Copies of this chain bind each other. A is one copy, B any other.
Amino acid sequence: MADNPGPFAPRGSPAEVEEGRRLAPKFDADGLVACVATDAQSGDVLMVAHMNAEALARTIETGEAWYFSRSRRALWRKGETSGHVQRVKEMRIDCDQDAVWIKVEQAGGGACHTGRRSCFYRAVPLGVRKGAVTLEFRDAEKAFDPKAVYGDPDKPR
Binding site for B on A (CB under 8 A): 3-4, 7-9, 14, 18-23, 28, 34, 36, 38, 42-45, 47-48, 59-61, 63, 70, 88, 90-96, 99-101, 112-114, 116, 119-138, 154
**Known: A43-B44, A127-B63. Contact between A23 and B132, CB under 8 A?**
yes
Q: Are A120 and B101 in contact (CB under 8 A)?
A: yes
Q: Are A22 and B132 in contact (CB under 8 A)?
A: yes
* Number of identical monomers bound together in the oligomeric complex: 2
Give bound CA distance, A22 to B101, whole Å: 29
Give bound CA distance, A136 to B90, whole Å: 11
Residues of B within 8 A of A126 (CB): 59-60, 63, 88, 91
Grouping DSSP codes into helix (H, G, I), strand (E, B) and loop, the A interface class, with mixed when no group exceeds half, is loop
Indicate which residue in B45, B61, B95 contacts A129 across the interface (CB closer than 8 Å).
Answer: B61
Q: Are B101 and A60 in contact (CB under 8 A)?
A: no
Closest to A135 in B: B21
What's the least CB distance linking A72 to chain B, in Å?
13
**Known: A23-B124, A34-B34, A43-B44. Contact between A119 and B134, CB under 8 A?**
no
Q: Are A130 and B48 in contact (CB under 8 A)?
A: no
**Residue among A100, A101, A121 with the highest chain B CB neighbour number at 10 A:** A101
Give bound CA distance, A96 to B116, whole Å: 13
Residues of B within 8 A of A92 (CB): 45, 120-124, 138
**Residue among A4, A126, A130, A136 with the highest chain B CB neighbour number at 10 A:** A126
